[in-house]
Structure 1
Amino acid sequence: MPDVVAEVTTEFLQAFADAWNRHDVDALMSFMTEDCVFEASAGPDVCGRRYAGREAVRASFAEVWATFPNAHWGNARHFVCGERGVSEWTFTGTRADSTRVEVDGCDLFTFRAGKIALKNSYRKNRPPLGTPKR
Structure 2
Amino acid sequence: MAMTVERLAEFGAAWREKDLDRLMEFMTDDCVFRSSVGAEPGATFRGRAEVRRGFELMLSHDAGSESHDGISFVAGDRGAAQWAYTRTDADGREHRVDGCDLFEFDGDLIRVKDAYRKVHGSIG
Q: TM-score w.r.t. structure 1 length?
A: 0.79
- Aligned match of 1:69: 63
Task: Give the gaps of 5 or more residues in structure 2.
Answer: none
Give secondary structure in 1 for the equivalent of 2:29: strand
Identity of aligned residues (%): 39
Q: Is the 8 A contact 1:17 1:73 kept in 2?
A: no
Asked whether the 8 Å contact 1:69–1:93 carries over to 2, the reply is no
Count of matched residue pairs: 119
Q: Aligned pair 1:35/2:42, yes or no?
A: no
Q: What one-letter code is carried by the residue in structure 1 that aligns with 2:24?
A: M
- Aligned CA distance change for structure 1 residues 21 and 117 (closer, same or farther; 3 Å): same
Q: 1:75 to 1:114 in 2, by over 3 A?
A: closer
Q: Is the 8 A contact 1:36 1:54 kept in 2?
A: yes
Structure 1, unaligned runs of 5 or more:
1-5, 128-134
Runs of 4+ deviating beyond 4 Å:
none
Distance 2:47 2:95 in 1: 28
Residue 9 of structure 1, aligned match among 4, 15, 38: 4
**C-alpha distance in structure 1 between counterparts of 2:5 and 2:47, whole Å:** 24
